[in-house]
Amino acid sequence: MAWLLVIVAGFLETGFAVCLKLSHGFTRLWPTVAFACFALGSFGLLTLALRKLDVGPAYAVWTGIGAAGTAIYGMIFLGDLVSVLKIISITLVIVGVIGLQLSGSSH
């Protein structure tokens, strides 16, 4: 259950990063409100998950999902540059997070 919270928190991190961009420096109301909701949800779920999980692997999964998700969302929906190097780098982030998790979490 704790890992499910981390995964959902990671997707919410993607949401708050995208809304941060869309808020244009907190000058647009609804993206700013959405940013705050996603951020509170993300940090709240991560906090709950950390009651049961080691901080290193949990934080890596959370930030990995957020970073990869944000980059992918930006390429698909926001017109961010798509390149082979960027795709390889996102893949390496995901592989690194999986490797950290498989390396020996005690829970």
The mean pLDDT of 41-53, rounded to a whole number, is 98
Residue-by-residue DSSP string for the chain: -HHHHHHHHHHHHHHHHHHHHHTTTTTSHHHHHHHHHHHHHHHHHHHHHTTTS-HHHHHHHHHHHHHHHHHHHHHHHS-----HHHHHHHHHHHHHHHHHHHTT---
Please compute the mean of the pLDDT values over residues 64-71 and round it to a whole number: 96
Q: Where are the domains of the chain?
A: 1-106
What's residue 106's pLDDT? 52
Q: Against a cut of 0.75, is the pTM above it?
A: yes
Instruction: Give the per-residue pLDDT at 80.
Output: 97
